[in-house]
């Protein structure tokens, strides 16, 4: 487990399994319980959040880093990495300090050591991660039957409410 005072829970799955779709359903359910949720999504692609021609893009292209965009509705900080290296989760967590979060959800970073729920769709016929990852604490699947190790919980991938209840009543209680 990463050394962090805020509980961290990851969602690991092969591409196309529905990680983002599940998280967009799960987050509102957790927020209804009064939890303040942060999220880190790992991307394997070079991405731009501002657009060519915009002032923020031009200022960043001129060499400013970080660049903060702020309005009455939101704030975004864009930081250029000096050397393009694969990010590590532990390096990203300090950005969430002092934000009063109850839980940080993570999409991706599946090779790193922190608690995760594996998502698995039978129709995709992908191998399971849990036999090789001791950090997987539950498997959310659409399979009717699945024999898991006794310490691992089986969740219904198509039941976000069940997954939210697991996060609240099992995961967060063990983490505090």
- pTM across the whole model: 0.87
**CA dist list (Å): 141 to 53, 122, 137, 151:** 44, 8, 13, 16
Tell me the C-alpha distance between 148 and 145, whole Å: 10
79-125 pLDDT, tens digit per residue, is 888 887 888 999 889 888 888 999 999 998 989 999 999 999 999 99
Task: Please name each of the domains of the chain with its CATH number.
Answer: 8-45+86-175 (3.40.50.300), 47-83 (no CATH)
3 state DSSP class of 2: coil
Q: What is the spatial distance between Cα 29 and Cα 35, in angstroms, rounded to a whole number?
A: 9
């Amino acid at each position: 487990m990463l050394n962090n005072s805020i509980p961290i829970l990851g969602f690991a799955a092969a591409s196309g399994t529905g990680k983002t779709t599940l998280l967009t359903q799960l987050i509102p359910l957790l927020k209804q319980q009064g939890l303040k949720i942060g999220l880190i999504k790992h991307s394997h692609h070079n991405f731009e959040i501002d657009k060519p021609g915009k002032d923020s893009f031009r200022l960043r292209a001129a060499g400013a880093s970080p660049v903060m965009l702020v309005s009455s509705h939101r704030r975004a900080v864009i930081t250029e990495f000096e050397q393009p290296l694969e990010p590590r989760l532990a390096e990203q967590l300090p950005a969430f300090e002092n934000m009063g979060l109850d839980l940080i959800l993570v999409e991706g970073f599946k090779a790193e050591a922190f608690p995760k729920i594996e998502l698995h769709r039978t129709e995709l016929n992908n191998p399971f991660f849990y036999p090789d990852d001791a950090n997987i604490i539950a498997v959310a699947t659409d399979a009717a039957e699945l024999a898991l190790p006794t310490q691992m919980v089986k969740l219904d991938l198509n039941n976000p409410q069940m997954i939210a209840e697991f996060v609240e009543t099992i995961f967060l209680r063990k983490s505090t």
